[in-house]
């Protein structure tokens, strides 16, 4: 069964805020082999002009994927996650993510294209801080194989 093309244009959220901690930043930095001292040490981060430990630029995906979960689990969209291949991820950062941030996300289904037994679903996750100011925009494309 293909993804429902009528889902294009839907939005989800904002959802429960994500609290960014030093521990989460350090764990992610270790996982992606980001070795800047600013990811691990508050004094090093402050020396570089940040308020606290700063996240690697791709950390935004951790927050975005929590919101994208609402898209892939919505039965009206029709994404069979067992048939998903991650096709693309792009980031636009409006400011760095630092420990202490509280970030809410709204995710939008921007485009659904069906071609040759594959549906591509492009989402846009808008991450905003506690004051509603933009932090990052994450564009993600999933390729979903249809049933044989």
pLDDT in tens, the chain (148 residues): 689 999 999 999 998 899 999 999 999 999 999 999 999 999 999 999 999 999 999 999 999 999 999 999 999 999 998 999 999 999 999 999 999 999 999 999 999 999 999 999 999 999 999 999 999 999 999 999 987 6
pLDDT for the residue numbered 147? 78
pLDDT for the residue numbered 67? 93
Domains annotated for the chain, with CATH where assigned, are 10-20+60-145 (3.10.129.10)
CA distance to 2, 6, 56, 57, 74, per residue, from 34 (Å): 38, 40, 7, 10, 34
Other CB atoms within 10 Å distance of the CB of residue 125: 25
- Sequence-distant (6+) residues with CB within 8 A of 111 are 8, 120, 121, 122
What the block records as the tokens of 129 is 């801080």
pLDDT in tens, 83-116: 999 999 999 999 999 999 999 999 999 999 999 9
pLDDT for the residue numbered 148? 63
Q: Where are the beta strands (DSSP E) in the chain?
A: 11-12, 18-19, 84-93, 102-115, 118-128, 134-145
């Amino acid at each position: 069964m293909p993804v429902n093309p009528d889902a294009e244009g839907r939005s989800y959220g904002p959802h429960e805020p994500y609290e960014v901690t030093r521990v989460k930043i350090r764990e992610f930095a270790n996982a992606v082999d980001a070795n800047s001292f600013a990811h691990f040490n508050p004094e090093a981060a402050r020396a570089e002009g940040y308020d606290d430990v700063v996240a690697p630029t791709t950390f935004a995906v951790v927050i975005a994927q929590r919101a994208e979960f609402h898209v892939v689990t919505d039965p009206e969209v029709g994404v069979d996650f067992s048939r998903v291949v991650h096709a693309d991820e792009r980031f636009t950062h409006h400011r760095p993510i630092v420990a202490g941030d509280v970030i809410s996300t709204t995710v939008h289904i921007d485009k659904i294209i069906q071609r040759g037994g594959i549906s591509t679903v492009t989402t846009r996750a808008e991450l905003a801080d506690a004051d509603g100011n933009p932090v990052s925009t994450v564009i993600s494309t999933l390729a979903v194989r249809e049933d044989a």
